[in-house]
Chain A
Amino acid sequence: MSFSFKKSYKILLFFILFMVVIGIWNPNALLDGLQRGSLYAVIALPLALVLGILGVLNLAHGDFLTVGLYIIYMLNTRFDMDPLVSIIPTVIILAIMGAIIYLLTIKNVIDEGHLSQLLITFGISLILIEGINIIWTSMPRNVYTNYAYASTEIAGFRFGTYELFYILIAVGVLVGLQIFLKKTRLGQATFAVGQNPKGAKIVGINVNYVYLFVFTLAVAILGVVAGFMLPRTSIFPAVGSPFSLKSFALAAMAGMGNLNGILFAGITLGIGEAAINSIPNYGGWSDIVFFGVLIIVILARSYRGAK
């Protein structure tokens, strides 16, 4: 769970250079990419946390986000609650739901192989998607708020302002997690469990409690993301599913347990995606570039590791 700026200064320099080049070429692509990439990162952070501490790849990760979006949609349509205000009850509901699902399912396969863990989270994913489909049908739904599509113009450069929040949330969640892991007793215990669960158990850390807490926290964070996302997106039963894959891709690109790296990876891939989208008739290449960059980074890291 660390990222050394001293060790990674070359990567950092490359990252800054990349942003400068894109910014000069197309400032809109830079800003769109920063915003979109931050969203990818803030969704990937909880997945990386669970992967790093529990060692479980949660295939239902994006579907918990979907549940959060529908809870906020329901609070808005039934009680006229603003999506940003709805974050508080949604975080609580998702935390309870996450804890129950962990105790009923994931806890029982935590010591099993990865295949069992993948299958059980895949099953949870299917149940969540079909459950939503039964309750709300597949029809897309929206919550419209005026502020979510506000824009401003500075010296002829027009840009949307709402998604700048994504950058703040991504940085906020990252800093919050780092403070939690380094400055609190529970966080230090969590860090220890992530490093060596058997050793942590020997020194008296309640590993099961840490696992429960981390999984619950990860699902609860998605409630915050859902609150900010809902005014900008259509919701339907499978809306969160693509984010599971992208989150895993970011975790893989950043390296296991590297939370800071996820923010950089998210922004890099977000800007790359936006840059491709802004080239006329090459929008369809964005996924190829996204996963192409991912493969190159993973191969480069393994090559460097082998040396």
Chain B
Amino acid sequence: MKRNNLLIISLVLVVTFMFSLGTFAQDDPIKIGAVNPLGDITGSQSSKAMELAVKEINDNGGLLGRPVELIVVDSELKPEKGAAAIDKLATVDEVDFFVGGMSSGVHQAQIPSLKKYEKITVWAGAASYLAEEAVGPDADWYFHLHPWDYQQGASYGEGWTQIAEKNEDVEIGRIFLAYEEGGFGTASFESYEEYVALAQEGEGPYAGIIEEFEGASFKSAALGGGEYRAILRQAREYDPDLFIWAGYAADAIPMLAQSREVGFEPSLYVGAPPGWPADFEANPLSDKVVLYGMWAPSLKEVSDIADHFWQGYIKMHQERPATYFAPLGYTNIMFLAEGIKAAGTLEKDALIEALRNVKYDSPLGTTLEISPSNVISNQGFTKQKILQYQDGKQEVIWPFDVSTAEIEYPFSW
């Protein structure tokens, strides 16, 4: 009898223990591990936007009845720190998913670690095709949101073709590219060389619109340079229809100001840095400068979700989103959340399938859908936007379905 009682008590204890484990598992948060460069505005605003997304999700009851927890680790824009952050999130924090981040160089260092854990990863930044090749075609757990560099180039070609068709005055037959002499600028130059070679054979995104191309390198102010007058005189002599500079944010104002100083006034003045300096739009030189990007604050005027994001971000952080990595960070979390909701489980294969079928109306003004790119099978956005600074505001001038203003042409001082 005593033995039977002992057995019953033991069984009750074991069942209670197991039940309590189950209850705890049910209340355990779904952990999302993010790696962002927090010292840089792209990383800090992306992280803040992710916090906003997580707050909204938790305010609405979480996911699958569980709260969501965001753990952010700083990559400091250093490859070794970025890779170590993935290991830390996987082994110490035991996250369920990886999200983030920016910089192709950092991401390339992270890819071996990501492959080691094979957790579902939704990566927001990193545009270099080298990163895509490093991921490879077999990583079905890897989702990438930012357009790859070759997709960006193709979308600019498509955009300019449509703009030129719509506006008879706009000509872009002659292009001059001023590029910083490092890897970023040189890659841009090589891309344009390829596009022009293709266009001259009647192929590629610039076919029928580009006739001639010339480029010259400069030393970026970010790397101790900042003297552009010689190269701008070369550009003035070339007399391009479209002038593009591919450098860093530190080059933006001095480049424009020295252009004015040497009397260089191309019909289209395009800047293609990864980020812009603080308060660039407030500078009188910024007017009519064209830029490439994924988002502009003015999108809130034509998109409800963009407006929702804008208001929510300012309310939560008492600052304005100033870089497209903010809405991209928000999208990063929301896209994953939509997938989890659709799958109804965290089981890997089911979730991958669900994410592939998500159509998320994003604050970037574009619906996020997954399709294959050159190498990987789960690519998100495929196009950039063509924007223009007009009267201190960034306006979207292409794609036309989300445009907030007509192009102001030609550029003048």
Contact = CB atoms under 8 A, between A and B. Distances in A.
Interface of A: 28-29, 32, 36, 133, 137-142, 144, 148-151, 158, 160, 232-234, 236, 238-239, 241-242, 273-274, 277-278, 280-281, 283-284, 286-287
Nearest to B226: A233
A283 B181 contact: yes
Contacts of A32: 227, 229-230
A32 B262 CA distance: 11
Contacts of B230: 28-29, 32, 274, 277-278, 283
Given A142-B283, A236-B250, A283-B216, A28 B233 contact: yes
Contacts of A273: 227
B216 to A, nearest CB: 6
Interface string B219-235: 10111101101110110
B227 A274 contact: yes
A148 B231 contact: no
5 contacts: A232-B257, A233-B221, A277-B227, A281-B216, A283-B231
A271 B144 CA distance: 48
A280 B277 contact: no
B283 A234 contact: no
A140 B257 contact: no
A137 B39 contact: yes
Contacts of A150: 261
A241 B226 CA distance: 14
Contact of B251 (A234, A238, A281): A234
B200 interface: no
Interface residues of B, number: 40
B229 A28 contact: yes
Interface of B: 39-41, 44, 181, 216-219, 221-224, 226-227, 229-231, 233-234, 248-254, 257-258, 260-263, 275, 277-279, 283-285
Nearest to A287: B219
Given A144-B284, A144-B285, A283 B219 contact: yes
A64 B216 CA distance: 33
**Residue with the greatest number of chain A CB neighbours at <10 A, chosen from B227, B251, B262, B279:** B227
Nearest to B229: A32
Contacts of B222: 140, 236, 238
Contact of A160 (B181, B261, B279): B261
Contacts, number: 107
A234 B263 CA distance: 21
A140 B275 CA distance: 10
Nearest to A136: B278
Contacts of B249: 139-140, 234
Given A139-B40, A144-B285, 15 more contacts: A28-B233, A32-B230, A142-B252, A144-B253, A158-B263, A160-B262, A238-B222, A242-B224, A274-B230, A277-B218, A277-B227, A278-B233, A281-B217, A283-B216, A283-B231
Contact of A138 (B39, B224, B262): B39
Nearest to B237: A280
B254 A234 contact: yes
Contacts of A242: 223-224
Contacts of A238: 222
Contacts of A151: 260-263
A137 B322 CA distance: 14
A242 B262 CA distance: 26
Contacts of A141: 277-279
The 4 A-B pairs of least Cβ separation, nearest first, read: A242-B224, A277-B230, A234-B250, A140-B250
B283 A144 contact: yes
A239 B253 CA distance: 15
B233 A284 contact: no
Nearest to B259: A149
A61 B260 CA distance: 32
Contacts of A144: 253, 257, 283-285
Given A274-B230, A283-B218, A234 B277 contact: yes
A150 B257 CA distance: 9
B76 to A, nearest CB: 11
Contacts of B258: 149, 160
A284 B218 CA distance: 7
B75 to A, nearest CB: 13
Contacts of B263: 151, 158
